[in-house]
């Protein structure tokens, strides 16, 4: 076989394998990974709106409303509004150093870790949340804000405090890399169910 023909033949094989690989990744989203967002991923004016609701097993509604967050200019830097506070985006995107984080980057299907968080309430009560985590899937998910490729992450464990309270707490977080945040969250704990869903996103 002549050199030119061999080179042409090998080039065709390379292209074919590349196309097959891309096709495989597209049809098998579990092969992808999501890295932690960086500062340049955020833009001025970006907006998220979540609808939240908390209901007891008896049907009593204990919380019902919306949570809106914006990216704003803070003396030439980007900040995110969180309620009446503003958090600098540079702080949000700092590399994760905790060995028991909410999200363990990069995210990929099948990954497992332990999430732990210690907290102190305004009245001085201290507590701890500890959960085993597994990334269940990466697929299209539809919420009020639209349809996004997203990771479904399951958290199962307990929450306890210094007053003797202890309960099973199970959560499912659906994280969409495109919006750099969760698009849906459900929590079931001691006769109480809480949900949040992204109903608006723009940038």
Residue 21 has pLDDT above 70, yes or no: no
Q: Which of 7-16, 70-79, 133-142, 154-163 has the lowest mean pLDDT?
A: 7-16
CA distance 49 to 123: 30
- The mean pLDDT value of the chain amounts to 88
Average pLDDT over residues 5-31: 44
Cis peptide before 106 (omega within 30 of 0): yes
CA distance 160 to 167: 7
Instruction: For residue 95, count other CB atoms closer than 10 A to its CB.
Output: 7
Regarding beta strands 126-143 and 146-161, do their DSSP bridges make them parallel or antiparallel, or are they unpaired?
Answer: antiparallel
pTM: 0.83
pLDDT of residue 122: 87
Element (H, E) at 12: helix 3-27
CB distance 182 to 176 below 8 Å: yes
CA distance 68 to 48: 6
Residue 16 has pLDDT above 70, yes or no: no
pLDDT of residue 29: 54
Residue 157 has pLDDT above 80, yes or no: yes
Query: Which one has a higher pLDDT value, 51 or 5?
Result: 51
pLDDT tens for each residue of 63-119: 999 999 999 999 999 999 999 999 999 999 999 899 999 999 999 999 999 999 998
DSSP assignment, residue 107? B
Strands, sheet with 166-176, edge to edge from the N-terminal-most edge strand: 85-88, 77-82, 61-74, 47-56, 192-202, 181-189, 166-176, 146-161, 126-143, 112-120
CB distance 108 to 124 below 8 Å: no
pLDDT tens for each residue of 31-51: 589 999 999 999 999 999 999
């Amino acid at each position: 076989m002549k050199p030119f023909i061999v080179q042409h033949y090998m080039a065709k094989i390379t292209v074919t394998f590349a196309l097959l690989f891309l096709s495989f990744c597209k049809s098998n989203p579990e092969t992808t990974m999501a890295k932690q967002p960086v500062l340049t991923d955020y833009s001025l004016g970006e907006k998220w709106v979540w609808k939240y609701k908390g209901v007891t097993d008896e049907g009593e509604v204990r919380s019902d409303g919306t949570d809106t967050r914006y990216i704003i200019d803070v003396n030439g830097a980007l900040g995110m509004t969180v309620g009446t506070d503003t958090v600098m985006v540079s702080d949000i995107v700092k590399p994760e150093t905790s060995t028991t984080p909410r999200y363990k980057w990069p995210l990929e299907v099948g990954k497992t870790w332990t999430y732990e968080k210690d907290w102190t309430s305004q009245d001085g009560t201290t507590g701890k949340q500890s959960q085993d985590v597994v990334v269940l899937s990466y697929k299209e998910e539809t919420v009020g804000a639209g349809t996004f490729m997203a990771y479904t992450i399951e958290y199962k464990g307990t929450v306890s405090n210094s007053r003797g309270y202890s309960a099973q707490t199970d959560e499912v977080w659906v994280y969409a890399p495109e919006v750099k945040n969760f698009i849906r969250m459900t929590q079931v704990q001691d006769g109480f169910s809480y949900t949040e869903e992204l109903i608006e996103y723009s940038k």
